[in-house]
Amino acid sequence: MRLPEKICAMEDAIAQIRDGDTVMVGGFGVPGTPMTLIRALVAHGARDLTLVKNDANEPGMGIDHLLQSGQVARLITTHLGLNSHAIGLMNSGRIAVEFNAQGILAERIRAGGSGLGAVLSDIGLGTELAEGKQVVQVAGQDYLVEPALRAGIALIHAERADPFGNLTYAATARNFNPLMAMAADQVIVEVEEIVPLGALPPEAVHTPGVFVDQVVPLGTLSGEYAVVRR
């Protein structure tokens, strides 16, 4: 038995993104941010997007290119502190921003990727983050209902993949990638190195290929992936 192969050209993978789509984007800072898929989405031009990403990278980096090109209507995130440009867009009302506690965003995505409807948590109870959220009681304790999150598309960065889409991530480039890779209808992965089927030890696979739809080889990495000199 041989596993199916999912290697795909970047343009073909990105072409399925439509105006108004919700797009999850992996990464926490530079590590794990799919810089090349983001550039391809800028070139593709789909508009009115809802992005789900931990942070907005920094000005001139990562998803800031999608903010600058005006393709983003809404951003579901946890922290914009390193991107003054994103904060400016939020403050002037040009993008809508929904802030989540970081681990709650992770759990909402994990729930969406696991076929669940919501998670219950006491994080933020009694603070303004709880405003407008449904409260339920379980075993005498109050919990906020945090609805599961899914997306039409996930853009993922992995260090290695085999052609079936089994993935491994490097160091802290893992972050939201394996969660988002479970939570979208179409999961597009850019990969630094494609290895043959069987080359990844099964015990070492971080994301099983069943979750992955398209594998895009990166070739030589652009400077956007390099160490940032601040």
Partner 1 sequence: MSDAKTRMLRRAAREITPGMVVNLGIGLPTQVVNHLAPDLPVCLHTENGLTGIGPTLPPERADRNLIDAGGAYVSEVPGSAFFDSATSFAMVRAGRLDLTMLGAFEVSETGDLANWKIPGKFSPGVGGGIELAQKARRVVVLSTHTDRAGNPKLLTACTLPLTARNRVARVFTDMAVVDVEPGGFVLTELAEGVSVAEVSEATGAPLRLPDTALPRF
Query: Among candidates 168, 150, 148, which has minimal Cα distance to 158?
Result: 168
List phi, psi (to 5°) of 193.
-145, 125
Query: Cβ–Cβ contacts within 10 Å for residue 106, how many?
Result: 19
Closest approach of partner 1 to the CB of residue 40, in Å: 21
Nearer of residues 134 and 172 to partner 1, judged by Cβ: 172
> Which amino acid, one-letter code, is at 64?
D
Select 17 or 119, whichever has its Cβ closest to partner 1: 119
Q: Which is nearer to partner 1, 101 or 194 (CB)?
A: 101
CB of 13: closest distance to partner 1 in angstroms?
A: 23
The residue among 14 and 83 lying less far from partner 1, judged by its C-beta, is 83
Half-sphere exposure of 193 (CA within 13 A, CB side): 9
> Which residues would be at the binding site for partner 1 (CB under 8 A)?
28-32, 54, 77-82, 87, 97, 99, 101-107, 109-110, 121-124, 126-129, 159, 169-179, 225-230
What spatial distance separates the first Cα and last Cα of the chain, rounded to whole Å? 50
Least distance in Å: CB of 12 to partner 1? 27
Q: Shortest Cβ distance from residue 79 to partner 1 (Å)? A: 4
Is residue 51 within 8 A of residue 90, CB to CB? The reply is: no
